[in-house]
Amino acid sequence: MDTLFISDLHLDNRRPQVINYFTEYLKNLTSDISALYILGDFVEYWVGDDDPAIGLNELFEQIKNESKKYDIYFMHGNRDFMMSENFCHRLGMKLLPDPSVISLNGKDILLTHGDTLCTDDHEYQNFRRLVRSKLWQDEVLKKPLEQRIKLAKDLRKQSLRETESKKEIIMDVNNLAVEKTFLKYNVNTMIHGHTHRPNIHTSSFKDKEFKRIVLGDWFSSSFILRYRNDKILIDKESFI
Ligand code: MN
């Protein structure tokens, strides 16, 4: 039985090859799958459950069908945090809080999107606190759909501009935040996305070994982490 982990697909009708690849991947899964975990930024943006989801509706239908075969879990990222629990249920996905600890082959693993670990980016953390508040979300959801789409596009542009000007290190995880998370949740393995820097980092402190697995984005190739018993496999294929 395999357990799959993905994040940062940033599904968008402007990049149909990513949508097609994911669709085909799900169709062609031959091994037994026990669960699929989607750790945020599944879609490029989500403005509320009346989002037209252009180019995504067929895939959503497929997810619903797949969820009858194995469990599909979804955790919010910084792009799709407005997807409601209700909407997830309609797609057959179970919404997981960030972070969540799961047990896999008798081992506890912490799952997070990863943005909360980037504590050096104070500007982003302030922004995150604002947009994750119920007050802000309630206000935004009162706006007409067109206005919300414009807001999402503006925020995306702004984030692109800021990403260019910020130092690389500021946008990566803060090591102390990572250590604190390991200790707080009493785990020695975590899986996250968000930074778009796929890697497996091992470290040791307090006489223990810790492993942080970072998932890759789906911009130029796919990235699926597959746990088969205790073995880690990575399915990666270029779109170009
Ligand atoms: Mn992200």
Res 167 pLDDT > 90: no
pLDDT at 155 over 80: yes
Q: Which residues contact 28 (CB under 8 A, 6 or more apart)?
A: none
pLDDT digits (tens, 9 = 90+) for 51-68: 999 999 999 999 999 999
Reported confidence tier of residue 2, pLDDT bands at 50, 70, 90 = very high
**This prediction's pTM:** 0.96
Ligand 1 centroid distance, CA of 194 (Å): 4
Q: What is the whole-number distance in angstroms between the Cα of residue 207 and the centre of ligand 1?
A: 31
Mean pLDDT of 29-58: 95
Tens-digit pLDDT profile for residues 78-119:
999 999 999 999 999 999 999 999 999 999 999 999 999 999
How much distance in Å is there from the Cα of 5 to the middle of ligand 1? Answer: 15
Mean pLDDT within 26-48: 94
Q: How far is the CA of 10 from the centre of ligand 1 (A)?
A: 9
Q: Tell me, in angstroms, the distance from the centre of ligand 1 to residue 145's CA.
A: 23
Q: What is the largest CA-CA distance in the chain?
A: 55
